[in-house]
């Protein structure tokens, strides 16, 4: 049985700013602990990159991490506001021991968090996160003055990453003649994404590119794509791209203003890879992936497997099965033949290349997949320690729901890895039936978990 982590969740450490553990003193100690562990024989490198998104608290936590790492004898390279996948990429190209991201992804500015990439540009192993946690509980000791780490700002980080993104598509592909609206959620991609697509020839219109420290993900981005849908219609654009606050997720909008979610994007990319003979292993989805994705891939004899929810688990299954394409409904897509982590810009580029090479617009490309009606209700929990699925009343309700759906759908209950709530998801062929079963099951869970 795995030892439980105290601070790390499924996507780093995250929470409300000013409330433990997202406080300056904790982050100072965290930086020190990271430095201590990385210098204990795991690497022969003593350099750590720090990047952040655009929320106001990033300044505070950047300084705290810098001080903690320096106290442990690690040199620091400051990247400033950069997308999460850019930090993964730059960690590899700078041959750093680790890359640290200060971000709470798609959450609003009141939250923040810390994510850590290994020297390979992937999330840290579970065991290393445990070791860092154990180090945090020790008395902090500063190295002797001669060994204190130095900090330096990398001035050309944005340009390096833009060039990398462009290098992931064939050199002879041009976006000339395409009108694209890009929504950067007032987040970390605001100074990167528009340049990538305009340098490739597209006519780019932007929204959500004026961060002020407080407006990240507020009314814009992949979690609130309505503004993009409106903008695509208003500008008579060919398509729209909605990134989240740290740039690792993307949703798209076709010329009709219709949303294309992560399952549909994954289908478009996987189908193109398959036809080109470049698809390796299975397509990896998650337990939340729409049943329509699985069936559409099956019709083309493309194997499909489901991992647990979270890009860490998608990546793990990709590596275990020798596969190269996987992702989540939320738009967190990993093209392992292009980069090491979910990347919204690179995902959008792969979809656009497919559209150009086939001559088909997005609304046609997604037609090969028919989504099943799916409903999800988040039920808040008084305690995240409750084992919801094992409660007798919940087990009975789930069995009843599964009997009603039979072979026409499925039921999934899943505790959130970042918030005290349980996600109740039902999928089936009949929308009204799905909504009714979801609401009934959510009510049972609410009553059973709040007694």
Q: Please give the Cα distance from 238 to 138 (Å, whole number).
A: 56
From 57, 70, 103, 105, active-site residue: 105
For 186, the token pair is 């007032």
Q: Which residue has the tokens 């039920």?
A: 379
Q: Please give the Cα distance from 174 to 269 (Å, whole number).
A: 18
Pairing of strands 98-102, 111-118: antiparallel
* Cα dihedral across residues 444, 445, 447, 451: positive or negative: positive
Cβ atoms 101, 117 nearer than 8 A? yes
Instruction: Give Cα separations from 80 to 56, 63, 104, 157, 387 (angstroms).
Output: 12, 11, 15, 9, 40
Name, in order, each residue with C-beta under 8 angstroms of 54's C-beta and a sequence gap of 6 or more: 81, 186, 187, 188, 190, 211, 213, 216, 245
Q: Please give the Cα distance from 135 to 152 (Å, whole number).
A: 26
Q: What is the CA radius of gyration of the chain?
A: 22
What are the two backbone dihedrals, phi and then psi, of residue 357, each rounded to the nearest 5 degrees?
Answer: -70, -30
For 202, the token pair is 């597209």
For 57, the token pair is 């608290």
Cβ atoms 31, 149 nearer than 8 A? no
Cβ atoms 347, 333 nearer than 8 A? yes
Does the annotation mark 105 as catalytic?
A: yes
Please give the positions annotated as active site: 105
């Amino acid at each position: 049985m795995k030892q439980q982590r105290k601070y790390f969740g499924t996507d780093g450490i995250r929470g409300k700013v000013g409330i433990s553990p997202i406080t300056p003193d904790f982050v100072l100690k965290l930086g020190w602990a990271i430095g201590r562990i990385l210098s204990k024989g795991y690497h022969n490198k003593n350099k750590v990159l720090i990047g952040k998104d655009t929320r106001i608290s990033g300044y505070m936590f950047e300084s705290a991490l810098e001080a903690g790492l320096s106290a442990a004898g690690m040199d620091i390279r400051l990247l400033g506001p950069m997308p999460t996948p850019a930090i993964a990429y730059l960690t590899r190209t700078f041959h750093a021991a680790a890359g640290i991201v200060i971000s709470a992804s798609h959450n609003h500015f009141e939250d923040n968090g810390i994510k850590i990439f290994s020297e390979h540009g992937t999330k840290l192993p579970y065991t290393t996160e445990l070791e860092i946690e154990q180090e945090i509980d020790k008395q902090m000791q500063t190295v002797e003055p001669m060994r204190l780490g130095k900090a330096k700002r990398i001035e050309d980080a944005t340009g390096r990453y833009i060039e990398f993104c462009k290098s992931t598509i064939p050199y002879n592909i041009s976006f000339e003649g395409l009108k694209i609206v890009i929504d950067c959620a007032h987040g970390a991609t605001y100074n990167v994404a528009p340049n990538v697509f305009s340098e490739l020839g597209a006519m780019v219109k932007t929204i959500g590119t004026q961060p002020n420290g407080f407006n990240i993900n507020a009314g814009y981005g992949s979690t609130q794509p309505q503004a993009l849908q409106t903008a695509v219609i208003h500008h008579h654009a060919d398509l729209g791209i909605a990134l989240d606050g740290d740039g690792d997720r993307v949703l798209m909008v076709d010329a009709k203003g219709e949303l294309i979610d992560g399952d549909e994007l994954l289908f478009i990319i996987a189908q193109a890879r398959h036809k080109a003979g470049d698809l390796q292993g299975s397509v990896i989805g998650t337990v939340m992936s729409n049943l329509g994705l699985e069936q559409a891939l099956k019709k083309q004899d493309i194997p499909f497997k489901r991992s647990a929810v979270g890009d860490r688990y998608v990546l793990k299954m990709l590596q275990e099965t020798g596969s190269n394409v996987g992702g989540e409904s939320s738009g967190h897509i990993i093209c392992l033949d292009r980069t090491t982590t979910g990347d919204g810009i690179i995902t959008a580029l792969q979809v656009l290349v497919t559209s150009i090479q086939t001559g088909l617009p997005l609304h046609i490309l997604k037609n090969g997949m028919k989504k099943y009606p799916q409903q999800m209700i988040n039920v808040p929990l008084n305690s995240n320690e409750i084992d919801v699925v094992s409660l007798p009343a919940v087990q009975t309700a789930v069995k009843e729901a599964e009997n009603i759906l039979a072979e026409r759908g499925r039921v999934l209950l899943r505790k959130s890895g970042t918030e005290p709530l349980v996600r109740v998801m039902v999928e089936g062929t009949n929308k009204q039936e799905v909504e009714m079963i979801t609401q009934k099951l959510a009510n049972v869970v609410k009553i059973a978990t709040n007694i």
